[in-house]
Structure 1
């Protein structure tokens, strides 16, 4: 397997540092920390990534395309360079809940191209949402992002091995981080179904045991494909989940 990435939500500095310290016991298994950019928290993704680099060699902030004004320089450019952050994940982003936050009609491909022009030293990754629309349409989006300069992709979490294998065949030759995320209860399952259009397989169970087993299964698949793994331990006991995955 190429790399393992773990996503940590930057709720606040104290919590993020505690989780980073917890993850240090897996220094030999985790290669990069991903930090999403969630506007309801004060810590921006690149600030969280700078903290993560104090604990791990590599950290990757998420950059929301809709936050970027194409008529101005990248607002986080100087910060990324000052903290030697050389990888980013460009996503579309969700509309802000507060209307005071300015957004723009900027697409991911625009921001990928902007990074290529303004920060050529940065490796830019893009997102794959296998639930957003048809496979054909998503593949078209992927090709556009490659043309814009994306060097690899991070998927939304998979819950069905069969769907993952179809996408693996479709994306052969691309660098992909295959995503998994634990779902611990029926409420979380319902959220993924309503918000992200996930169709869970009949054998799925919203439990730690099922989530750990499936994560290990995807890790084995990624190893066979010489691909990478993206762990998103959202709203779960981080210590228990990772102990099961890396046992």
Structure 2
């Protein structure tokens, strides 16, 4: 059965809770909320996920591997238990902009393995970045994460069905959430091209209509193949975007 995850950023707790209430009330197709861990936010992902669980049965916090010393016991064990969080998404994380923030030379497989050893009851997802290197090299990273204990994957956003279908063949048999995110301005197009190495298809348009149509195609593909979708309305107004894709 296809599941739909939506990414929400808890920049403002009141706004975050209003968004949770609106999605729960108006978009029944959404199964759970993913909460990124951004250094620009005062609220950590696990605290945001704890709030999200007031409205959704499942909420998945992102954990930045570099924030944790893998030689020590995981410091958020009690928080995850307190909030009833049963699933997490482990990513590498981007380095902080200032040196006042403590980070470690920890990689995602270190933290995935720690969950397998210290908290095996928690299901661990890992990330896929289909743009950072060759498909062959990314496949190697995926296999290493599986060996470390990852049970499923969330991808970076796709913008081309042909590229998604190539990865669908590669990941056949795995639990995958196909990422989709609206890109709505020339500035955002430039960011994705230059920062994340995205190549947009020839017919791409930075409009809400194009992005909603593409997201609906990904949802249809996922439902036809018993897979899942991860919607990331980063710059879009959340409710119009989700209503366009899922209603």
TM range, smaller chain: over 0.9
Give the alignment of 1:117-196 within 5 angstroms: 117-196=117-196
Match of 1:19 in 2: 19
Structure 1 gap segments, 5+ residues each? none
Match of 1:104 in 2: 104
- Residue 27 of structure 1 deviates from its aligned partner by 5.4
Structure 2 vs 1, CA of residues 26 and 139 (structure 1 numbering), >3 Å: closer, same or farther?
farther
Structure 2 vs 1, CA of residues 116 and 26 (structure 1 numbering), >3 Å: closer, same or farther?
farther
Match of 2:200 in 1: 200
TM score, norm. by length of structure 1 = 0.98
Measured in 2, the distance between the counterparts of 1:175 and 1:67 equals: 26
Measured in 2, the distance between the counterparts of 1:142 and 1:58 equals: 24
Match of 2:212 in 1: 212
Measured in 1, the distance between the counterparts of 2:40 and 2:98 equals: 9
TM score, norm. by length of structure 2 = 0.98
Structure 2 vs 1, CA of residues 193 and 159 (structure 1 numbering), >3 Å: closer, same or farther?
same
Match of 1:37 in 2: 37
Following TM superposition, where does structure 1 have runs of at least 4 consecutive aligned residues deviating by more than 3 angstroms? none
Measured in 2, the distance between the counterparts of 1:216 and 1:246 equals: 7
- CA RMSD, aligned part only? 0.9
- Residue 25 of structure 1 deviates from its aligned partner by 2.3
Structure 2 vs 1, CA of residues 27 and 236 (structure 1 numbering), >3 Å: closer, same or farther?
closer
Measured in 2, the distance between the counterparts of 1:27 and 1:193 equals: 31
**1:68-114, Cα deviation, whole Å (9 max, x unpaired):** 10121111110000110000000000001121111111110010000
- Residue 154 of structure 1 deviates from its aligned partner by 0.2
- Residue 12 of structure 1 deviates from its aligned partner by 1.9
- Residue 21 of structure 1 deviates from its aligned partner by 1.3
Aligned positions, number = 247
Measured in 2, the distance between the counterparts of 1:25 and 1:183 equals: 26
Q: Is the 8 A contact 2:9 2:35 kept in 1?
A: yes
Q: Is the 8 A contact 1:159 1:200 kept in 2?
A: yes
SS of 1:159's partner is coil
